[in-house]
Amino acid sequence: MQSGTKRGYQTQDRTAIALPEAQRALLRHVRPIDKAKVRLEQAFGYRLAAAAYASEPIPHFRRSGMDGYAVRTEDLAELPVTLEVTQRIACGTPPAGALGAGTAARIMTGGMVPDGADAVIMQEMAEETADGQRCYVRFTKAVPSGTNITPVGLEAGRGEKLLDAGERIGPAQAALLAAIGCDEPSVYRKPIVAIICTGDELLAIHQRLQPGKIRNSNLYMLASQIREYGGEPQLIGSIPDEPQEARRMLYGIMEGEADLVLTTGGVSVGDFDVVAAILADWDGDTLFNKITMRPGSPTSAGVRGGKLLIGLSGNPAACLAGCELLVRPVLRQMQGERAITADEHGQQAILAEGYGKVNAYTRYIRGIRYTDGATVYVRQAGADRSSAIVSLKEANCLIVIPPTKTGVLAGELVTIIPL
Amino acid sequence: MQSGTKRGYQTQDRTAIALPEAQRALLRHVRPIDKAKVRLEQAFGYRLAAAAYASEPIPHFRRSGMDGYAVRTEDLAELPVTLEVTQRIACGTPPAGALGAGTAARIMTGGMVPDGADAVIMQEMAEETADGQRCYVRFTKAVPSGTNITPVGLEAGRGEKLLDAGERIGPAQAALLAAIGCDEPSVYRKPIVAIICTGDELLAIHQRLQPGKIRNSNLYMLASQIREYGGEPQLIGSIPDEPQEARRMLYGIMEGEADLVLTTGGVSVGDFDVVAAILADWDGDTLFNKITMRPGSPTSAGVRGGKLLIGLSGNPAACLAGCELLVRPVLRQMQGERAITADEHGQQAILAEGYGKVNAYTRYIRGIRYTDGATVYVRQAGADRSSAIVSLKEANCLIVIPPTKTGVLAGELVTIIPL
């Protein structure tokens, strides 16, 4: 049989770098994404493009914390005491005037405490009586000045920073933005991430299985991950394993609207590893083509025309982990939040079952994090095969197994990366 | 001053029930939501309406786990040995035929192992040479039968259940659905949740602040929470504090397309608590109007025409917690997953700072969960005021403080509910 003509991308220089180095190499090329205005009711999940400040103190008026009676505490020096109720203050209606000596104001939770009053006594501690046109309230216990009144600016002074740029808009952020009247916050638009899969073995999902072929599952897995990270996936589909045609298509996609381009597969040392072939001979800069990690050591990246290309492994578990470890930080930083690299402190857990495999590279294996009492444990999820797909869903974290000649024993502390 | 005519919803019968009881009372009225078909690329975050099964074994052919050479291990009995390479098997191309004795096949990761071969030897352990038209590979080490071959059905047999109904479609689920060719899964449509706020103090977010009035922040907070739970918020806005008009409007909304109706505010014992007034005198069934919890004890619920109404507290922190504790389980069960009630085992953490307040009711206070090593700690987030809004974003959990006369000491184990 004739020797293959395409053999030999494994001969190219592949010097492995550590994961944090690879992450930093990517982050150096992250360009800030455009800003956009989004109506607050549609802003869930976006990240703020500008910090938010209190335009007025919060609260901006002295607020009652109870349904009850606003009083001047000096009137409660001698007990029991009966005061005339001279006004009723509903929420949203300012007091009719200041509270005079010897009088009380009926007030609701959230109501504006009248000038002169320095405490609100809860209604359960008061007894209201009527006498013809007049209304009275009787107290048998005193309260300290300030009771049940939230002073102006207790939560925030005027001009105080409430939210940072880069912060993700969740329920509490939405509430604060509404409170300060920000009905159309400035946010980072969702980064568009083109996803390209390589491999002539890939079928579209509607196609029937054929011997040796599998349906393209990485495309949909990555699309979901991108959505989780706040991005907008652009599902390109497959490009052929033939390098000339593949390069032409890849260049076209990289020159398109996507902010980041991902490929899966074709990064290894096989005869048909097209992404490796392209990166070995293209007009862009190759940032790295090997990482000291398993799975996914051939994960590669480059930059061309200022745009990043990340070449993930085609094995589902390696692809999932690679996306988590390399794509998530990039998307995070594109949306204004500083990304955390793998050498910054992570979460920890106790390894519930020993891990015997030895390796010169750091392993990022899929794990199941669980707690017993207040202690966090982790155990391996599913089979330790990067080709596994059925067991992927069991994992809720990656377990970091550092290079070791002896494995890691049950009971040892390990770092975990939540998925 | 004349005695208020609307005084006295506090006189209605309000017997407090425990939170798990309240949750179960709601769940008994949950009706299954309609099913819908969604294209897989749009299915992220939906929940499956039907279990998913393997239509074919996974994998459906004997798959190589390495770039290397498929061999018959019996040919490696005497070493070193040189075998002729009689075929090259790329991914996606079935072998040209069975592997004959004394021959090897070049094969790529993910390629289909030819009949006859019983192991794949990684290329790093092989040396390929060419001799004219013919190609040979030399091995110096044997491997056990089965090496680097994933057998048919290793991950799942034909017909095996892969995903349960009710399961949320994330990256791993999307990958599996793609693998089995499910390009349009049957999902539960997103439940529509109408959000109505009460309180004449509420301004729309674009309005200028006025004395005694605040902008409607609960509307946007709840909308974000509903999206987090997989629902579709319908932002109705405010209804007036006048009971007749409010009832008419509420009935109209409950008869509309929403699957669940939420109100905020107006559930307490104040003079203008309109939701309490409606529930005290309506043609629906009131499920509860008081819960033995703080904040949010006046949280109420009813059912009318088979549709649930949940009346949350108007205080932001109480509203947030009430939504988490009462609305999330309802939405979860509407989307086919069994809801977990508060008396089922939850997560635990060590209370980092003692909590001194005593109360006859269970407190659900906002907390910050953090870990030190593999131990989970929790401390209180922000001010313990249900009216707080600025500090809401600090919380990542609720801390459950059971009724106690002595408070809870630092170092004690408490239950937490992640937000």
User: Structure tokens of B241?
Assistant: 């504090």
- Taking each helix axis from N to C end, the angle separating B218-228 and A171-179, rounded to the nearest 10 degrees, works out to 160
**Is residue A405's pLDDT more than 90?**
no
- The verdict on B45 touching A (C-beta cutoff 8 Å) is yes
The enclosing H or E element of A218 equals: helix A218-228
pLDDT at A311 exceeding the cut of 80? yes
SS3 B243: helix
Six-digit token string for B216: 């409607």
Which residues in chain A have their CB less than 8 angstroms from residue B379's CB? none
| Angular region, A353: left φ>0, alpha ψ -120 to 50, beta rest | beta
- Cβ within 8 Å of residue A343, ≥6 positions away: A18, A20
Partners of A260 in beta bridges: A193, A308
Per-residue model confidence as pLDDT tens digits over A39-93: 999 999 999 999 999 999 999 999 999 999 999 999 999 999 999 999 999 889 9
How close A251 comes to chain B (CA, Å)?
24
Mean pLDDT, chain A, rounded, equals: 93
Task: Tell me if B92 and A156 make a contact (CB, 8 A cut-off).
Answer: no
CATH topology of domain B9-34+190-334: Molybdenum Cofactor Biosythetic Enzyme; Chain A (3.40.980)
pLDDT means per 10 residues in chain B (419 residues)? 42 84 98 94 96 96 95 96 95 94 94 97 94 94 96 96 96 97 97 94 94 95 97 93 92 97 88 87 95 94 97 94 97 93 91 89 94 96 78 93 90 95
Domain boundaries, chain A: 9-34+190-334, 36-58+154-188, 63-150, 347-418
Tally of CB atoms within 10 A around B208: 10
pLDDT tens for residues A223-261?
Answer: 999 999 999 999 998 888 889 999 999 999 999 999 999
Pairing of strands A214-215, A293-294: unpaired
What angle do helix axes A218-228 and B171-179 make, rounded to 10 degrees?
160
DSSP designation for B324:
I
Q: B347-418 has which CATH code?
A: 2.40.340.10
Q: How confident is the model at residue A387, as a pLDDT?
A: 72
For A104, half-sphere exposure in the C-beta direction (CA atoms, 13 angstrom radius) is 31
The interface residues of chain B toward chain A in range 52-111, judged by CB-CB distance below 8 A, are 56, 58-61, 63, 65, 67, 84-95, 106, 108-111
Report CB contact under 8 Å: A212, B93.
Answer: yes
- Cis upstream peptide for B418 (omega within 30°): no
**CA A327 – CA A261 distance, rounded (Å):** 10
Q: Could you tell me which of B169, B200, B201, B199 has the C-alpha nearest to residue B185?
A: B169
Q: What DSSP string runs through A291-316?
A: BSEES-TT-EEEEETTEEEEEE-SSH
**Looking at residue A240, what is its pLDDT?**
87
The whole-angstrom separation of Cα A404 and Cα A387 is: 23
Output the pLDDT for position B257: 96
What is the spatial distance between Cα A137 and Cα A71, in angstroms, rounded to a whole number?
10
* The CATH number of domain A63-150, selected from 2.60.40.10, 3.40.50.1110, 2.170.190.11, 3.40.190.10: 2.170.190.11
* Run of H or E residues at A367: strand A362-372
Answer whether the bond into residue A94 is a cis peptide, omega within 30°. Answer: no
Q: Which residues of B touch A268 (CB under 8 A)?
A: 67, 109
Query: Cβ contact (<8 Å) for A392 and B224?
Result: no
| Predicted local distance difference test score (pLDDT) of residue A9 | 43
B129 touches chain A (CB under 8 A): no
CA B23 from chain centre, in angstroms, equals 18
Q: Are strands A81-89 and A103-107 parallel, antiparallel or unpaired?
A: parallel
Q: How far is CA A320 from CA A309, A389, B43, in A?
A: 16, 10, 18
Q: Does any CB of chain A come closer than 8 Å to the CB of residue B194?
A: no
Please list the alpha-helical segments (H only) found in B124-213.
Answer: 171-179
SS3 A41: helix
CATH code for the part of the protein at A36-58+154-188: 3.90.105.10
Chain B residues with CB-CB distance to A86 below 8 A: 1
Sign (positive or negative) of CA dihedral B216, B222, B223, B225: positive
**Res B359: pLDDT:** 82
What pLDDT does residue A384 have? 64
Nearest residue of A to residue B172, measured between CA atoms: A393
Which residue in A274, A364, A355, A349 sits closest to A311, CA to CA?
A274
Please indicate, yes or no, whether the overall pTM of this predicted structure exceeds 0.90. Answer: yes
Same-fold call for A36-58+154-188 versus A63-150: no
Alpha-carbon distance of B334 to B33, in angstroms, equals 6
| Contact yes or no for A130 and B3 at CB 8 A | yes
pLDDT value at residue A19? 97
Q: Cα distance from A226 to chain B (closest Cα, Å)?
A: 9
Q: What are phi and psi of B119, to 5 degrees?
A: -160, 155
Share of chain A above pLDDT 70, in %: 96
The predicted pLDDT at position B384 comes to: 64
Burial B314-349 (b: 16+ CB within 10 A, else e): bbbbbbbbbbbbbbbbbbbbbbbbebebbeeebbbb
Q: How far apart are CA A283 and CA A300, in angstroms?
A: 15
Q: Which residues contact B251 (CB under 8 A, 6 or more apart)?
A: B304
Which of the four pLDDT bands, split at 50, 70 and 90, describes residue A331?
very high
> What are the start-end ranges of the E strands in B291-384?
293-294, 300-304, 307-312, 347-351, 362-372, 375-380
Query: How far is Cα A350 from Cα A245, in angstroms, rounded to an integer?
Result: 49
Query: Is A147 near chain B, with CB under 8 Å?
Result: no
Decide if B217 and A112 are in contact by the 8 Å CB cutoff.
Answer: no
Helices (H), B194-282: 218-228, 243-254, 274-280
Is the minimum CB–CB distance between A119 and chain B shorter than 8 Å? no
Q: Which residue has the higher pLDDT, A270 or A339?
A: A339
Please say whether the beta carbons of B363 and A363 come within 8 A. Answer: no
